[in-house]
């Protein structure tokens, strides 16, 4: 994780126990699961609010707008509300929860999301500008709640899984508020499909680390020299994987980043796109975010080049889409593994695009007009998500 110079009061920073054993890529994967749900649900949430407030104009957007970021450079979780909604002239914060388990005894809500401490009265008071939208996935239903209802029907008690106190509403009481919505099943399916792609994508990274580990171990056991040839993409990628595993960044970072950009422009297969994208991702997130001044001025040049390379990677990945949910660049290659490479490249490129918009938006608007647009939905850079998810499930299904 990168170092942070000061504490942001709107962020709950990760404890060492929260990120122990996770690389930065793994942390981002875990954070992206929630982002998939939240970004897919925006239009559905707007339709629910429009039904509830039929006489008012409704607008819904993610907190942060186009600069919304689903992961943080220093780890942890943002305390910003999930959505900002405008209903007529009134502004609401929308807290959104998505329950995937069926055997819930209590529906839990964090104290800070529902109420605030009234020190004068020495009690907690529900927030009147916050609304709750809760999807119960297994039942295919949702609940639209006020904070006052949660506070009135829940009791403050410790949630073992959270190791902290929260409002706990008994399941029987909560389910009285669940409603049907014909469009909800489509939303849930889209979320499932994209989570399937996310888990599948990450397997490329895990396999790559395992293969390199085995290569090094075999060299030691056989007494054969292990060589890195950094003038090739393969050797450069191996160097990046080793440094990333050591949680170290190269001292000559700009020179390494330039090499990664050059390699990314030269690739011709999906496996090469995967390796070039991994290197770019690792080196991009090694680069500290400048707060102002010279650092931002120097960002002009490499941001423009980076934007061009991102577009190139996305175009090349899509060129290899062969239909029926499969990506393939080599006739003899495994369509399953090549699809995994394609999804990995798209996944990390979208992470970098959104991170750049979050930290360098003014520079991008002024100096890098060809930079890709902000990410509105995870995996927006490829289409046919349902077909790809179907193929992924088929190709990863255990064979008898």
Question: Among 132, 162, 187, which residue terminates a domain?
Answer: 187
**Are residue 77 and residue 172 in the same domain, yes or no?**
yes
Q: What percent of the chain has pLDDT over 90?
A: 64
24-28, 72-76, 380-384, 393-397: range with lowest mean pLDDT: 72-76
In a domain, 203, yes or no: yes
In a domain, 2, yes or no: no
Question: Among 164, 187, 210, which residue terminates a domain?
Answer: 187
**Are residue 139 and residue 200 in the same domain, yes or no?**
no
- Please tell me the predicted confidence (pLDDT) of residue 201: 94
Give 290-325 pLDDT, tens digit per residue: 665 545 566 677 888 999 999 999 999 999 999 899
The CA distance from 138 to 103, in Å, is 10
Average pLDDT, integer, range 78-103? 89
The CA distance from 271 to 283, in Å, is 19
Average pLDDT, integer, range 183-189? 95
Torsion of CA 180, 34, 342, 249, to 10 degrees: 180
Burial of 238-254, coded b for 16+ CB within 10 Å and e otherwise, reads bbbbebbeeeebbeeee
Block residue for tokens 């002024």? 366
**Residue 385: CB atoms within 10 Å:** 19
How many domains in the chain? Answer: 2
**Are residue 244 and residue 275 in the same domain, yes or no?**
yes
**Are residue 275 and residue 201 in the same domain, yes or no?**
yes
Q: How many helices (H) does the chain have, and how many strands (E)? A: 13, 15
Give 208-232 pLDDT, tens digit per residue: 888 888 888 988 998 888 888 889 9
In a domain, 23, yes or no: yes
Contacts 24+ apart (CB under 8 A), 264-269: 264/309, 264/312, 264/313, 265/309, 265/312, 266/233, 267/233, 267/316, 268/329, 269/329, 269/330, 269/333
**Are residue 283 and residue 359 in the same domain, yes or no?**
yes
**Are residue 222 and residue 177 in the same domain, yes or no?**
no
As a 3-state breakdown, the chain gives helix, strand, coil percent values, each rounded to 5, of: 50, 15, 30
**Are residue 207 and residue 114 in the same domain, yes or no?**
no
pLDDT at position 350 over 60: yes
At what angle are helices 270-284 and 253-266 packed, to 10 degrees? 160
Cβ-in-10-Å burial (0-12, 13-18, 19+) of 5 comes to exposed
DSSP string, 130-169: EEEEEEEGGGTEEEEEEHHHHHHH-EEEEETTTTEEEEEE
Question: Among 144, 167, 187, which residue terminates a domain?
Answer: 187
pLDDT at position 340 over 90: yes
Q: Which of 77, 148, 135, 145 is nearest to 104 (CA)?
A: 135
- Please tell me the predicted confidence (pLDDT) of residue 18: 44
Show the domain range for 242: 189-396
Grouping H, G, I as helix, E, B as strand and the rest as coil, residue 1 is: coil
- Please tell me the predicted confidence (pLDDT) of residue 10: 45
Q: Radius of gyration of the chain from Cα atoms? A: 23
In a domain, 4, yes or no: no
Q: Which of 78, 142, 84 is nearest to 112 (CA)?
A: 78
pLDDT at position 275 over 80: yes
In a domain, 1, yes or no: no
The CA distance from 240 to 365, in Å, is 31
**Are residue 292 and residue 147 in the same domain, yes or no?**
no
Give 226-270 pLDDT, tens digit per residue: 888 889 999 999 999 999 988 899 999 999 999 999 999 999 999
The CA distance from 334 to 396, in Å, is 12
In a domain, 264, yes or no: yes
- Please tell me the predicted confidence (pLDDT) of residue 17: 35
**Are residue 255 and residue 267 in the same domain, yes or no?**
yes
pLDDT at position 168 over 90: yes
Block residue for tokens 């888990």? 199
Its sign, for the CA torsion 394, 396, 397, 398, is positive
**Are residue 183 and residue 199 in the same domain, yes or no?**
no
**Are residue 169 and residue 194 in the same domain, yes or no?**
no
- Please tell me the predicted confidence (pLDDT) of residue 170: 96
**Are residue 233 and residue 331 in the same domain, yes or no?**
yes
Give 113-167 pLDDT, tens digit per residue: 999 988 887 889 999 999 999 999 999 999 999 999 999 999 999 999 888 999 9
In a domain, 5, yes or no: no
Mean pLDDT over each residue of the chain, to the nearest integer? 88
In a domain, 6, yes or no: no
């Amino acid at each position: 994780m990168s170092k942070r110079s000061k504490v942001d009061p709107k962020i709950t920073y990760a404890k060492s126990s929260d990120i122990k054993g996770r690389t930065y890529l793994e942390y981002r994967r875990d954070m992206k699961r929630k982002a998939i749900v939240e970004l897919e649900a925006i239009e559905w949430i707007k339709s629910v609010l429009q039904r509830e407030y039929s006489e008012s104009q409704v607008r819904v957007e993610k907190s942060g707008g186009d600069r919304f970021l689903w992961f943080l450079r220093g780890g942890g979780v943002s305390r910003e509300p999930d959505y900002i909604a405008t209903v007529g002239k009134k502004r609401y914060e929308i807290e959104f929860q998505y329950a995937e388990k069926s055997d819930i005894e209590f529906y839990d809500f964090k104290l800070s999301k529902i109420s605030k401490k009234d020190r004068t009265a020495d009690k907690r008071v529900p927030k009147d500008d916050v609304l709750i939208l809760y999807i119960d996935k297994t039942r295919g239903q949702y609940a639209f709640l006020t904070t006052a209802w949660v506070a009135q029907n829940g009791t403050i008690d410790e949630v073992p899984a959270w190791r902290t106190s929260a409002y706990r509403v008994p399941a029987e009481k909560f389910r009285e508020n669940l409603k049907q919505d014909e469009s909800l099943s489509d939303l849930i399916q889209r979320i499932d499909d994209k989570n399937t792609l996310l888990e599948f994508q990450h397997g490329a990274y895990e396999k790559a680390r395992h293969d390199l580990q085995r290569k090094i171990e075999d060299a030691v056991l056989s007494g054969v020299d292990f060589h890195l040839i950094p003038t090739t993409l393969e050797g450069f990628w191996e160097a990046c994987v080793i440094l990333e595993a050591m949680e170290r960044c190269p001292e000559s970072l700009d020179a390494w980043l330039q090499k990664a950009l050059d390699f990314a422009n030269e690739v011709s297969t999906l496996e090469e796109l995967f390796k070039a994208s991994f290197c770019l991702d690792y080196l991009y997130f090694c680069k500290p975010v400048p707060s102002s001044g010279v650092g931002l001025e120097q960002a002009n040049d490499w941001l423009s080049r980076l934007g061009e390379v991102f577009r190139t990677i996305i175009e090349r990945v899509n060129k290899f889409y062969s239909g029926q949910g499969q990506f393939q660049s080599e006739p003899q290659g495994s369509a399953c593994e090549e699809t995994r490479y394609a999804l990995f490249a798209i996944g990390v490129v979208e992470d970098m695009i959104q991170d750049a918009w979050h930290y360098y938006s003014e520079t991008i608007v002024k100096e890098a007009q060809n930079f890709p647009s902000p990410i509105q939905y995870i995996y927006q850079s490829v289409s046919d998500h349902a077909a790809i998810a179907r193929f992924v499930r088929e190709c990863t299904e255990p064979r008898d």
